[in-house]
Each structure stands twice: as C-alpha cells, then as structure tokens.
Amino acid sequence: MPVRIAIIGAGAVSDYHHVPGIRIDKRCELVAVCDPNEALLEQRQKEWGPTKKTTRYEDIANDPDIDAVISATPNFTHLPISVACSEGGKHVMCEKPLGLNFEESARMYRAARDRGLRHMTAFTYRFAPSMRYLRHLWKRGDLGVPRHFRSQRFLDWPETSWGWRQYKHLAGAGDLFDMTIHRIDFAQDLMGPIKTLCGAAVNFVPRDKTPDGKPCEPSNVDDWSALIGLFEGGAVGVWEGSTLMKGYHNNGFGHEWAEVNGSEGSAVYRLQDPNNILLSRGGKPMESVPVPEEFLVIPGSPRKPHEGVPSTVFRYDLVYEFVSAIVEGRDAIPGFDHGARAQAVADAVLESYEKRTWVDVKQDLG
Ligand SMILES: NC(=O)c1ccc[n+]([C@@H]2O[C@H](COP(=O)([O-])OP(=O)(O)OC[C@H]3O[C@@H](n4cnc5c(N)ncnc54)[C@H](O)[C@@H]3O)[C@@H](O)[C@H]2O)c1
C-alpha cells in the first residue's frame, strides 16, 4: 500500500515543492489537505486532488488512515502541529525553521524520536545537485584539510509587508530564520558543529504597508543577518544574508554563493547554477565543472534530471528522501535533530547581537 500523506498548510511552499514531489513518487499518495483558509482548501482540493480536507490539524493527527504528514505552516504553529502528529503516530516532515527556538525544536525531535517515527526538516538546499557533489568531494578529502566556509544569500525583495513572516511572535526571526538558517544547516553538514559565534540580525525597513498599499503593523524582525562561527573541528565560517540587496533579483532566485576552502583547493555551490560547481585545485584558478549525472538526483529518485528549471526541480527530491526513510525504516536526512542544531546556532546569533558578545552554541537535544 502506498504511504498515505497529508499536507498541513496549503500555501506557497506546499504547492511549489511538496505536491510535485508527491506526484512523481509512486510509493506515496496525497490523501488529505488541511488549512484554516476554507477558500484555499477548496482550491487546493481541485488542484491537488486529495480525497479529504479539513480546517483542523487535529483531524489529521488522529486519522488512522494517514501515515505521514508534511507540515508547511507559519513558524509559530510548527511545534503544536508536529507534536500532535507524532502523538497520533504519524511520520512528520516539517518546514524550517523547525520551531521558534531551540527548546521548541528539541521537543519536536524528542516527540518523534521517542515513538520511533521518521522525522525530517525541509532543508531544501542540501538536495541541490551542486551541493551534493561539492559535499562528496569535500568529505572524500579532495580539497584537503578544511579551513574556511563562506556563505552569501542575497535577495532583492519588495519593501512591503511579508505578512506573518515579519513578526517575531509568529516567525521567530526574519532573514535569519527564513534564509540564513538553511546555510547554517548545510555548513554544519559539511564542516561539523559550530561551537561558538559572533552574530548580528538587524532590521532596516519598517514594511508598514501591504503590497496593495494598505497600512499594517511594522515589522519587528531582521532583514539582514550575519555571523562568524568557529567550528569544533578548527575551521572558521562567515555568513551574510539580506533581502535588501538591490540588483540581485535574478528572476526571484537571487544570488547564492557557498564556498569551502581546504588546504588543497576550493569549491563553490551557487543556487543560480545548481548543475555545475566552481572548483580549483593546486593553486589554479576556479573553473566551472559539470555535476556528474549520478549526482543530479538523489539515488533512486524518479525525477528526470534534465526536465524543468534546475534551480526549482531538485526541491522535489525532499519527498523522495522522506518516503524512502519511511519505506526502508531508517532515519530521514536531514532529521529534526539537524533542524534543532541549526536552530541552536540561529538562537545564538540573536543572543550574541543582543549582548554584543561571542556566544557558545548549546546543542544538547535531551
Ligand atoms: N524549505 C524551503 O525552502 C522553504 C521555502 C518557503 C517556505 N518555507 C517554510 O514553509 C512554511 C510555510 O511557508 P509558505 O511560504 O508556504 O507560507 P504561506 O503563508 O504561503 O502558507 C502557509 C499556509 O499555512 C496555513 N496555516 C496557518 N495556520 C495553520 C494551521 N494551524 N493549520 C494548518 N494550516 C495553517 C495558512 O492558511 C497558509 O495557507 C514556513 O515555515 C516557511 O519558513 C520553506
């Protein structure tokens, strides 16, 4: 029998990443959708075709005919939805940031782990072909002893309201929890845990008008975030993210540059060109190197590697990994533990800026 999946939160990311991922994977089916917005629920039932719909996530959590849940709701709802679904025996993939802080994320992890359920944090960029190939070369030691990590994520967004995303009690933080947290996650995947850091998260723009010109409460979260982090293994990393980078719109994909520098060479992943990496070994200049065919999709994925927009389609592989973990009875990667560990780092950035000091990262998941 296929894995029966429910989507909770029928907004943008479910439509963009998760439903296309379910559609191409014959081992699963979308059986239910949940959203408090009844008009959207109607629309999604027509577009996506699940058999059940509900406005209450508790109905999903308690439904014996649902095996797994993809939770893609505003950040403040991640904890109650995920814990309720774990208590109802469902495997859960949840969007990032996992919670509003490390304690929430660690609770979500323990709720799934203690019941032997599969859990996954939707850290999309781990699935980019160039990231996967860079990781392979780096972990194999081709670039020598790890020294530096560097990440830039620049977006040129309108300066109007971000809706729920621009309020601390609903989102936790702004650019830091929305964008930089992905880069913290893949940095820790490449380099190991960050042990201490110095960070900042600053708000530049009030965004007190909606896109159609109506007044709204001004934002109280950052639209620029940065950190310098020391990894436990001795390497050092530098991250900068901003939604205010004029000139970096690039059809909505913005600019992304993540670079590792080892004693023997350097390699770069760019979201704008996810089927190539930049590579340099032995003092030679960087050159563009195509990602080999076997890294264009995750092993076994039914996705056709040369179909669709490259910066978009790798996101469908998240569902493949989640369903594989369920079918094979193994941990999904990245799990809630990875989500919580990235959150611990992001929390430390906020604390560091508030206290204007370096902060040690807490990583005890309990
Ligand atoms: N992994 C990625 O690359 C990526 C990309 C975009 C968004 N996200 C994350 O996905 C989540 C959703 O973002 P989005 O852009 O789709 O937002 P969105 O506002 O477009 O959609 C969220 C949906 O959740 C619904 N919702 C609110 N409360 C709910 C509840 N209690 N139960 C069920 N549904 C509820 C809303 O009505 C809305 O339809 C956020 O956590 C965001 O950070 C991740």
| Residue with CA at minimum distance from ligand 1 atom 38 | 11
| pLDDT tens, position by position, 84-131 | 999 999 999 999 999 999 999 999 999 999 999 999 999 999 999 999
Q: Beta strand pairing status for 236-242 and 146-154?
A: parallel
296-321 average pLDDT score: 96
CA angle 249, 257, 203 (to 5 degrees): 60
- The residue extents of the domains of the chain are 3-124, 125-334+342-353
pLDDT given at position 266: 97
The whole-number pLDDT of residue 86 equals 98
pLDDT band at residue 258, thresholds of 50, 70 and 90? very high
Report the C-alpha gap between 87 and 314 in whole angstroms: 31
Query: Is the pLDDT reported for residue 325 higher than 80?
Result: yes
Q: Is the predicted pLDDT of residue 145 greater than 90, yes or no?
A: yes
Specify the CATH number for 3-124; select among 3.40.50.720, 3.20.20.140, 2.60.120.20, 3.90.79.10.
Answer: 3.40.50.720
Predicted confidence (pLDDT) at residue 349 exceeds the cutoff of 80 = yes
Task: Give the relative orientation of helices 102-113 and 78-87 as an angle to the nearest 10 degrees.
Answer: 10
Q: State residue 105's pLDDT score.
A: 98
Q: Distance from the CA of 14 to the center of ligand 1, in angstroms?
A: 8
Q: Whose CA is nearest to atom 4 of ligand 1?
A: 13
Per-residue pLDDT band at 50 (split at 50, 70, 90): confident
pLDDT at 283: 77
Locus of tokens 């439904």: 63
Please choose from 17, 33, 34, 35 the residue to mutate so as to test ligand 1's pocket, defined by most ligand atoms within 8 A of CB.
Answer: 35
pLDDT at 15 over 90: yes
The DSSP line for 214-260 is -B-PPP-S-SEEEEEEEETTS-EEEEEEESB-TT--GGGT-EEEEEE
Q: Which two tokens stand for residue 18?
A: 């998760």
In sequence order, the 6+-apart residues with CB closer than 8 A to the CB of 291 are 129, 130, 132, 133, 274, 275, 276, 277
Neighbour tally for 307: CB within 10 Å? 9
Residue-wise pLDDT tens digits, 25-48: 999 999 999 999 999 999 999 999
Is the confidence at residue 74, as pLDDT, over 90?
yes
Ligand 1 mutation pick, 37, 55, 58, 95, max ligand atoms within 8 A of CB:
95
Atom of ligand 1 nearest to the CA of 318: 1
pLDDT score for 312: 95
- Give residue 156's pLDDT: 97
Task: State both tokens at 30.
Answer: 């979308």
Q: Residue 350: how many CB atoms within 10 A of its CB?
A: 21
> For a pocket test of ligand 1, which of 73, 157, 271 has the largest count of ligand atoms closer than 8 A to its C-beta?
73
Q: Calculate how far, in angstroms, residue 256's C-alpha sits from the geometric centre of ligand 1.
A: 23
Which residues, in sequence order, are bridge partners of residue 240? 152, 226
Query: Among 3, 77, 7, which Cα is nearest to 45's?
Result: 7
Contact 97, 75 (CB under 8 A): yes
Confidence at residue 363, expressed as pLDDT on a 0 to 100 scale:
83
What was the pLDDT predicted at 65? 98
DSSP assignment of 317-361, as one string? HHHHHHHHHHHHTS--SS-HHHHHHHHHHHHHHHHHHHHTS-EEP
Arithmetic mean of pLDDT, 308-332:
97
Nearest CA to ligand 1 atom 31: 77
pTM (two decimals): 0.98
Q: Would you state the pLDDT for residue 223? A: 97
The pLDDT tens digits of the residues spanning 159-204 come to 999 999 999 999 999 999 999 999 999 999 999 999 999 999 999 9
Instruction: State mean pLDDT over 317-326.
Output: 98
336 CA distance to ligand 1 middle (Å): 17
The CATH homologous superfamily for domain 125-334+342-353 is Dihydrodipicolinate Reductase; domain 2 (3.30.360.10)
Q: How confident is the model at residue 79 (pLDDT cuts 50, 70, 90)?
A: very high
Q: What is the mean pLDDT of the chain?
A: 97
